[in-house]
């Protein structure tokens, strides 16, 4: 419109100048008739008019060009202002809105701004799949405010979607293009990958527009995806942190559960194990009652191990740590696995002999390796499989893409276990470390194995990373901080030697446990006074402090706990050792540091042999320390 107006004004000015010049020649100078001067000017007049008309035309062209540049600049300013408004609106939606609804709101805004009737927004998930988080208009099959985003494997996407995702810049695809898996298609699309600094973060698609896409549309969408990239990356990191927080809450919940039930359950198991062991000694070896009692003891032992595994999920291990060469631990674990693995499964190792040791509790590291190795073997059952275990040292200054941020800068010993099994889908992989979650049939797993593995590794300052896809096997990396060799573990004496007899006080609020302990210890020649009330026991000790050589007390009791009882006994007589018994995962070192009267700690449920050994040590050496 502005171009046409400029041309009309220029043409009118040229005609008016020609007529005015003819009038001046005819009536002012009288050189010729008006019509003759208008139609057939002489040579000089024609030259002058043409020169002036050319100058006028040139001025009109310059004015038109300047006007066009000014208009273009104004349009660019308005477009920039609108683009800034759109970006501010997108940022506001993500800051104030709720996911996943925010994705749909942003997509609707972009479709409205671009004049497109169809739109799609996808995010590349952590396992490389494309999660469709919003479509416009919303699918009729799903709630427009919330629906589980479908996940499409990138390898199975139809043409031209793989090329679009791999592209570095937006591109226009003419014709009908669709994604049948989500019932979405558009006639002519502008597709733009949303790329981060290294990886593809997502995909934005706009389509079904009345006019064709132009170069300016490609530029605007490219700038928009550049703006969206850090937002999507931040949202992905926030989702990962949220998932970690949820996992931590699950572990805390399990810890509360373990703390609530372990004490009572251990008391029950303690009575079963104690009386069953005493009955076993009273019957003829090899008889039917002896065999039945052996089965009872084995079942109780399984119950005790289960409680310990539950506690281990949530409570850090307090046992002695020492420097451990992982080469030795892996070699020993492989030796055990080879005896249980089917003949069609081979186990290969590649261990770096120069990988430094780690600070670890050896039995727990052995449990981690055996648990993960056994899971890998089970995943390959029925096929010719291969389990490969490698050990390498990763220097702290190396840049490793899969390395957790909190371990960056540390020298790490990395155990990599790769199997050729069936792999895990996304849901199984996400829940693999959840307590009580298992894919095994009833009776073949408790669902605590990987939870225990996760807790042990975390308590050792390490991290476990799992990569798996259906049909492609599983890769597990375990990262432990490398430590310099330290002093050897403090060895505890085995307790052999003279079985001293003494006068003992045994205190536990569970009557069955006191009855078992009294009967067992008296059968070994000790004099035992048993109490179920700690305050009554304290009164008895205060009345005759010189008659007792050792006090054995439960830690958790009503009105007066075992550690407080030990402190009160020490006020009365300083040289009497006190052994505490507990079904919780207390730190024995902290207990002894806070109360010098504590000579040791026994975990419930304990066997009669453990109780006898602890009593013998305490009577022989009042300076004895360490958990039995």
pLDDT at 205: 92
The span from the CA of 380 to the CA of 433, in Å, is 20
pLDDT at 263: 66
Measured CA distances, 512 to 5, 269, 604 (Å):
107, 11, 14
Cβ distance 330 to 351 under 8 Å?
A: yes
Tokens of 215: 């170069």
Confidence of residue 597 (pLDDT cuts 50, 70, 90): low
Which of residues 287 and 260 earns the better pLDDT score? 287
pLDDT digits (tens, 9 = 90+) for 354-397: 888 888 888 788 888 988 888 888 888 777 888 999 999 888 66
Tokens of 194: 């949303």
pLDDT at 553: 92
Q: How far is CA 500 from the centre of its chain?
A: 54
Highest-confidence segment of 52-66, 255-269, 333-347, 400-414: 333-347
Handedness of CA 606, 608, 611, 613 (dihedral sign): negative
Cβ distance 274 to 513 under 8 Å?
A: yes
Cβ distance 334 to 423 under 8 Å?
A: no
- Residue 95 has, within 13 A of its CA and on its CB side, a CA count of 6
Tokens of 424: 């895990």
Mean pLDDT check: name the lowest of 412-416, 474-478, 601-605. 601-605
Task: Give the pLDDT mean for 406-422.
Answer: 83
Confidence of residue 627 (pLDDT cuts 50, 70, 90): very low
Mean pLDDT check: name the lowest of 59-63, 354-358, 414-418. 59-63
3-class state of residue 549 by DSSP: coil
pLDDT at 157: 80
Q: What angle do CA 605, 493, 317 make, to 5 degrees?
A: 45
548 DSSP β-pair partners:
none
3-class DSSP string for 214-264: CHHHHHHHHHHHHHHHHHHHHHHHHHHHHHHHHHHHHHHHHHHHHHHHHHH
Confidence of residue 543 (pLDDT cuts 50, 70, 90): very high
pLDDT at 435: 47
Cβ distance 102 to 94 under 8 Å?
A: yes
Tokens of 271: 């009575």
Which of residues 534 and 620 earns the better pLDDT score? 534
* Predicted confidence (pLDDT) at residue 175 exceeds the cutoff of 80: yes
Which of residues 114 and 79 earns the better pLDDT score? 114
Which of residues 546 and 301 earns the better pLDDT score? 546
The span from the CA of 193 to the CA of 244, in Å, is 28
* Predicted confidence (pLDDT) at residue 562 exceeds the cutoff of 50: yes
Which class for 413: exposed (0-12), middle (13-18), buried (19 or more C-beta within 10 A)? buried
Among 338, 333, 344, CA closest to 381: 344
Which class for 142: exposed (0-12), middle (13-18), buried (19 or more C-beta within 10 A)? middle
| Residue carrying the six token digits 């009042």 | 622
Task: Give the pLDDT mean for 477-502.
Answer: 58
Task: Give the pLDDT mean for 302-326.
Answer: 65
* Predicted confidence (pLDDT) at residue 47 exceeds the cutoff of 90: no
Which class for 567: exposed (0-12), middle (13-18), buried (19 or more C-beta within 10 A)? middle
Measured CA distances, 349 to 84, 369, 388 (Å):
58, 13, 6
Task: Give the pLDDT mean for 430-454.
Answer: 55
In this prediction, what percent of the chain has a pLDDT beyond 90? 13
The span from the CA of 127 to the CA of 130, in Å, is 9
* Predicted confidence (pLDDT) at residue 446 exceeds the cutoff of 50: no
pLDDT at 274: 81
The span from the CA of 553 to the CA of 602, in Å, is 10
Strands across the sheet with 151-153, in order?
151-153, 129-136, 116-124, 200-209, 184-195, 171-179
For 364-391, give one letter per residue: b (16+ CB within 10 A) or e: bbbbbbbbbbbbbbebbeeeebbbbbbb
pLDDT at 69: 74
pLDDT digits (tens, 9 = 90+) for 494-506: 444 346 788 999 9
Measured CA distances, 315 to 308, 379, 451, 568 (Å):
10, 29, 12, 29
420: CB partners within 8 A, 6+ apart: 380, 383, 385, 386, 387, 473
Could you give phi then psi for residue 55, rounded to 5 degrees? Answer: -65, -40
Mean pLDDT check: name the lowest of 447-461, 477-491, 569-583. 477-491
| Domain topology for 322-481 | Heat Shock Protein 90 (3.30.565)
pLDDT at 77: 66
pLDDT at 318: 46
Among 318, 270, 479, CA closest to 390: 479
Among 557, 562, 286, 253, CA closest to 245: 253
Task: Give the pLDDT mean for 226-253.
Answer: 78
- Tabulate helix, strand, coil % of the chain (nearest 5): 50, 20, 30
* Predicted confidence (pLDDT) at residue 586 exceeds the cutoff of 60: no
Task: Give the pLDDT mean for 73-96.
Answer: 77
pLDDT at 445: 44
Task: Give the pLDDT mean for 481-509.
Answer: 62
Task: Give the pLDDT mean for 576-590.
Answer: 70
Task: Give the pLDDT mean for 149-170.
Answer: 79
Predicted TM-score (pTM) of the model is 0.44
Among 230, 290, 317, 301, CA closest to 266: 301
* Predicted confidence (pLDDT) at residue 437 exceeds the cutoff of 60: no
Contacts 24+ apart (CB under 8 A), 435-443: 435/250, 435/251, 435/254, 435/313, 440/378
Neighbours of 563 (CB within 10 A): 22
3-class state of residue 404 by DSSP: coil
Which class for 533: exposed (0-12), middle (13-18), buried (19 or more C-beta within 10 A)? middle
Which of residues 192 and 26 earns the better pLDDT score? 192
Cβ distance 438 to 447 under 8 Å?
A: yes
In this prediction, what percent of the chain has a pLDDT beyond 70? 71
Which of residues 401 and 573 earns the better pLDDT score? 573
CATH value of 97-213 in 1.10.3720.10, 1.10.150.120, 3.30.450.40, 3.40.50.300: 3.30.450.40
Superfamily of domain 503-620: Response regulator (3.40.50.2300)
Mean pLDDT check: name the lowest of 39-43, 450-454, 549-553. 39-43
* Predicted confidence (pLDDT) at residue 426 exceeds the cutoff of 60: yes
- Residue 294 has, within 13 A of its CA and on its CB side, a CA count of 9
Segment holding 615, helix H or strand E: helix 608-620
* Predicted confidence (pLDDT) at residue 555 exceeds the cutoff of 90: no
Averaged pLDDT score across all residues of the chain: 77
Mean pLDDT check: name the lowest of 143-157, 334-348, 455-469. 143-157
| Residue carrying the six token digits 């119950």 | 303
pLDDT at 599: 76
pLDDT at 530: 93
DSSP 8-state code for residue 32? S
Among 254, 225, 491, 476, CA closest to 371: 476
Cβ distance 138 to 155 under 8 Å?
A: no
pLDDT at 506: 95
Going by their DSSP bridges, the two strands 412-419 and 463-468 should be labelled as: unpaired
Q: How far is CA 545 from the centre of its chain?
A: 57
Mean pLDDT check: name the lowest of 205-219, 470-484, 560-574. 470-484
pLDDT at 539: 93
pLDDT at 447: 42
Mean pLDDT check: name the lowest of 27-41, 132-146, 451-465, 534-548. 27-41
Mean pLDDT check: name the lowest of 131-135, 261-265, 353-357. 261-265
């Amino acid at each position: 419109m502005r171009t046409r107006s400029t041309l009309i004004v220029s043409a009118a000015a040229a005609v008016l100048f020609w007529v005015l010049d003819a009038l001046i020649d005819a009536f002012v100078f009288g050189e010729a008739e008006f019509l003759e001067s208008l139609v057939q000017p002489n040579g000089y007049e024609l030259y002058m008019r043409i020169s002036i008309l050319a100058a006028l035309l040139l001025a009109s062209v310059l004015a038109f060009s300047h006007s066009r540049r000014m208009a273009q600049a104004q349009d660019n300013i308005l477009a920039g202002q609108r683009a800034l408004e759109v970006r501010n609106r997108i940022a506001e939606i993500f800051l104030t809105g709720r996911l996943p609804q925010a994705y749909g709101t942003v997509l609707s805004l972009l479709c409205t701004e671009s004049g497109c009737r169809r739109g799609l927004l996808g995010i590349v998930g952590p396992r490389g799949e494309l999660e469709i988080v919003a479509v416009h208009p919303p699918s009729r099959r799903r709630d427009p405010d919330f629906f589980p985003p479908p996940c499409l494997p990138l390898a199975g996407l139809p043409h031209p979607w793989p090329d679009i995702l791999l592209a570095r810049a937006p591109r226009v695809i003419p014709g009908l293009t669709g994604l049948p898996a989500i019932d979405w298609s558009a006639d002519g699309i502008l597709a733009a990958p949303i790329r981060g600094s290294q990886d593809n973060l997502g995909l934005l698609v706009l389509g079904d527009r009345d006019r064709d896409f132009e170069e300016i549309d490609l530029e605007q969408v490219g700038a928009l995806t550049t703006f969206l990239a850090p937002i999507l990356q931040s949202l992905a990191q926030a989702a990962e942190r949220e998932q970690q927080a949820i996992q931590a809450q699950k572990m805390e919940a399990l810890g509360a559960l373990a703390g609530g039930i372990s004490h009572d359950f251990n008391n029950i198991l303690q009575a079963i194990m104690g009386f069953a062991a005493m009955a076993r000694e009273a019957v003829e070896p090899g008889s039917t009652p002896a065999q039945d009692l052996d089965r009872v003891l084995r079942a109780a032992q399984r119950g005790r191990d289960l409680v310990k595994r539950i506690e281990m999920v949530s409570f850090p291990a307090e046992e002695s740590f020492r420097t451990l060469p992982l080469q030795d631990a892996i070699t020993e674990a492989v030796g055990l696995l080879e005896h249980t693995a089917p003949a069609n499964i081979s186990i290969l190792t590649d261990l770096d002999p120069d990988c430094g040791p780690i600070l670890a509790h050896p039995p727990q590291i052995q449990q981690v390796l055996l648990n993960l190795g056994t899971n890998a073997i089970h995943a390959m059952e029925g096929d010719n499989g291969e389990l490969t275990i490698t050990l390498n040292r990763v220097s702290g200054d190396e840049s490793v893409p899969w390395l957790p941020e909190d371990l960056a800068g540390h020298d790490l010993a990395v155990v990599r276990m790769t199997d050729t099994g069936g792999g895990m889908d996304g849901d199984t992989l996400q829940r693999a470390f959840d307590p009580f979650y298992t894919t095994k049939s009833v009776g073949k797993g408790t669902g605590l194995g990987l939870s225990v593995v996760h807790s042990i590794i975390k308590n050792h300052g390490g991290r476990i990373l799992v990569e798996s896809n259906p049909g492609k096997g599983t890769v597990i990396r375990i990262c432990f901080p490398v430590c310099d060799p330290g002093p050897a573990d403090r060895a505890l004496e085995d307790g052999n030697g003279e079985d001293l007899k003494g006068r003992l006080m045994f205190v536990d609020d569970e009557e069955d446990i006191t009855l078992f302990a009294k009967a067992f210890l008296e059968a070994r020649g000790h004099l035992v006074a048993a109490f179920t009330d700690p305050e009554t026991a304290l009164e008895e000790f205060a009345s005759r402090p010189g008659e007792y050589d050792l006090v054995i007390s439960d830690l958790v009791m009503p009105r007066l706990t075992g550690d407080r009882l030990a402190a009160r006994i020490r006020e009365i007589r300083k040289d009497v050792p006190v052994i505490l018994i507990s079904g919780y995962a207390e730190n024995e070192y902290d207990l002894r540091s806070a109360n010098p009267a504590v000579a040791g700690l026994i975990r419930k449920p304990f066997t009669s042999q453990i109780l006898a050994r602890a009593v013998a040590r305490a009577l022989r050496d009042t300076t004895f320390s360490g958990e039995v």
